[in-house]
Amino acid sequence: MFPDLSVLNRQPGDIEAKFQVAIDAVNEAGGINGRQLEMVFSLYHPLLNVEIDALCVSNVDDEQVFAVVGILIRESALCYTELNDTIAVNTFAISPEQFERSRAPLIGVDPIPTRLVEVNIDTLIDTGHLSAGMQIAVHGIASKEGLHNDYVAVLEDRGIEVVSNTLRTIDNDIAGAEAEIQVLAERWAADNAEVILGSAPESAQDIIAFYDSAGLDMPILLPEDTHVSLSLIQETLGYDLSVFHNAVALLRETDDATAYQENIAGVADCVDRFQEATGEVVDVDPSTDGMDNLGPTIGACQAIDIFAAIAQAAGPELTTESFGAAAENYGPIQVTGVPLGSLGPGKFDISDAPAELGRYDPDTLAFVAS
């Protein structure tokens, strides 16, 4: 399953074909211990929770799927893994709470943020962006208050004073959220912070919403990156991205275009195989106004890679339980676009890639490794 990005004015190409080509590669190589994968494909409207819930019921009750793979936004994975004991492989961000609540295996690509808070802060200290004695503002969102508090605690442990500690509490109401953020931005300015740090991926769009109007010009630190493309933030919310001239983000994924050019972890192999099979041209140059079909192509390969590897390791007696046991005992795993990854007991978030500093590139509307 995959969100219908056309409703967000994106051009992702033929998503179903991307998954089918990845599945065909597995089947042509012998399948899963000799058994063939069969796909039930669905696009869903990313803004309609009722439609997402109905799709879960259809997949579980009508189609009786063994697993669901792709992008499962917000908490939609829990319909499968918590309520229905169905495996999910999600190439979108997953919170620690979702892992904890899942009865069936929930596998993700991105590392759980709480596993990396100390690493992120120490990376920013080692690169000179934070130092003992510095006064900073820390901004997050209430739904990720645990992660936010972890950042505050580590900063204070490192001798960095948090002079402004704010959380956005309003979700699913853009006007209300913007009004709240405006008040918070005025507080950041009044507290005379030297730096502002975002404790959640959503913090980036919060910070830029009223950065200029509050008279702010201090450095912005985004250890959790943004988890959505900056161009999408600009197009859907109308925010001015130029304020990111003074920002750095910690990146754990090489940008898709560079990953293709350098064939990092098989990205070019995945994309070229899809192009050859379908004739769809994948736009690998982010500076053009072409299609937005590179990321979805890579994501399809990732999802199928992960499911196939774990299912193969589970052996001929493939059940939800044997799949989960195989994941816990897997160790290092090779996944398209993930240079370093592993699975293990209590660790179903795959990526182990170290963080790199990324700076805003106005030509590509993205943070790129510096």
Q: What is the pLDDT of residue 130?
A: 95
End position of a domain, from candidates 226, 251, 276 = 251
Whether residue 365 lies inside any domain: the answer is no
Query: Does 60 map to a domain?
Result: yes
Whether pLDDT at 150 is above 90: yes
pLDDT of amino acid 126: 93
* pLDDT-derived band at 287, boundaries 50, 70, 90: low
Residues 137 and 72 placed together within one structural domain of the fold: no
User: What's the whole-number average pLDDT of the chain?
Assistant: 90
CATH code for the domain in which residue 150 is found: 3.40.50.2300
Q: Is 142 part of any domain?
A: yes
User: At CA 201, angle to CA 100 and CA 148, rounded to 5?
Assistant: 65
Q: Which tens digits make up the pLDDT trace of 304-341?
A: 999 999 999 999 999 999 999 999 999 999 999 998 89
- pLDDT by residue (tens digit) across 167-177? 998 877 778 88
The whole domain housing 192 covers 114-251
Q: When comparing pLDDT for 288 and 328, which is higher?
A: 328
User: Do 226 and 146 fall into the same domain?
Assistant: yes
Same-domain check for residues 58 and 168: no
pLDDT at 367: 87
Task: Specify the pLDDT at position 189.
Answer: 86
Task: Indicate whether 179 belongs to any domain.
Answer: yes
Same domain, 144 and 223: yes
**pLDDT at 100 (0 to 100):** 92
Over residues 248-252, mean pLDDT = 89
Q: Is the per-residue pLDDT at 114 higher than 90?
A: no
DSSP-assigned letters across all residues of 42-105: -EE-TT-HHHHHHHHHIIIIIS--SEEEE---TTTHHHHHTTS--EEEESS---HHHHHH-SS-
Are residue 121 and residue 244 in the same domain, yes or no?
yes
Distance CA 205, CA 235 (A): 12
Which of 236, 251, 266 is the endpoint of a domain?
Answer: 251
Which one has a higher pLDDT value, 57 or 227?
Answer: 57
Q: Which residue has the higher pLDDT, 202 or 28?
A: 28
The answer, yes or no, to whether residue 74 has pLDDT greater than 90, is no
Same domain, 119 and 179: yes
Residue 193 shares a structural domain with residue 313: no
Confidence of residue 16 (pLDDT cuts 50, 70, 90): very high
Over residues 150-163, mean pLDDT: 95
Total of domains in the chain: 2
pTM comes to: 0.73
Query: Minimal CA–CA distance to 129: which of 366, 355, 365, 364?
Result: 355
Q: Domain boundary at 251, 266, 283, which?
A: 251
**What string of DSSP letters covers 222-262?**
ETT--SS-HHHHHHHH---GGGGGGEEEEESS--HHHHHHT
Q: Is 350 a domain residue? A: no
% of the chain at pLDDT higher than 70: 98
pLDDT at 133 over 80: yes
Q: Do 124 and 250 touch, CB atoms closer than 8 A?
A: yes
- 368: in domain: no
Q: Are residues 283 and 312 in the same domain?
A: yes
Q: 269 and 166, same structural domain?
A: no
User: Does residue 79 lie within any of the structural domains?
Assistant: yes
> Do 80 and 121 fall within a single domain?
no
Is 313 domain-assigned?
yes
Q: Is the pLDDT of residue 284 over 70?
A: yes
Specify whether 141 is located in the same domain as 226: yes
Q: Are residues 235 and 118 in the same domain?
A: yes
